[in-house]
Structure 1
Amino acid sequence: MRTWKLLLLALVPGAVGYGVNLLILLPVMGAAVFYLQGLTIAMFCVWLGMQCSKASLRFPSSLLMTQWPSVVSFSLYIWQFHFCGDETRNLFLRY
C-alpha cells in the first residue's frame, strides 16, 4: 500500500470517534455504536499495523506514520492547556 494512503488511514480512528460523539445522543443506536467502537477500532489498528509492516519501512518510520495524529493531538493539548491562559484558549480546539 502506498505511504500516503497509510498516512490518511491513520486518521480513521479520530473520524470514528468524532462520529460516535455525534451519534451518542441517539437512544439505541448511540449506545450500540459506543460499545462497538472499541473492538472495531482495535481490529482496524491491528490491520493498519500489518499494512505498515508490509510497506517495507523501518520500525520508527512505520510507528510515526501510524501515530502522527496522536503526536499532533498531544502537541495541541500541551500548547492549549499548559502555555495558553483561559482567556486566550481556542474554543474550537477544546471540543
Structure 2
Amino acid sequence: MIAIEVLLLLAASVIIIVGLTAVARPIAQAYSERLKMNYKEIGTDQENLLKSRVSSLEEEIREIKRQMIEMQEVSKFTDKLLEKKQDKSV
C-alpha cells in the first residue's frame, strides 16, 4: 500500500515538473528574445558615445594616479626635511 502511494506521489511530482517546464520554457525564451532586442537597439552613435566616455574616464584615472604619485613624492620629501630639522635641533 505504501509503495503505491510513493509511486503515485512520484508520478504526480514528475507530471508537475514536466508541466512547469512546458509552461516556463516559452516564457524564458520570450524574455531572452526581448533582452536581445533591447541590446540590439544600441546604435553606433550610442556605442561611440559610450566608448568616448570610457576613454575619458580612463584618462582621468591616469591623471589621478599621476597626481597621487606626485603627492607621495612631496610627502616623502617633507618627511625627510622634518627628520633633518629634528636631527639638527637635538
Q: Which of 1 and 2 has greater Rg?
A: 2
TM-score by length of 2: 0.32
For normalisation by structure 1, the TM-score amounts to: 0.30
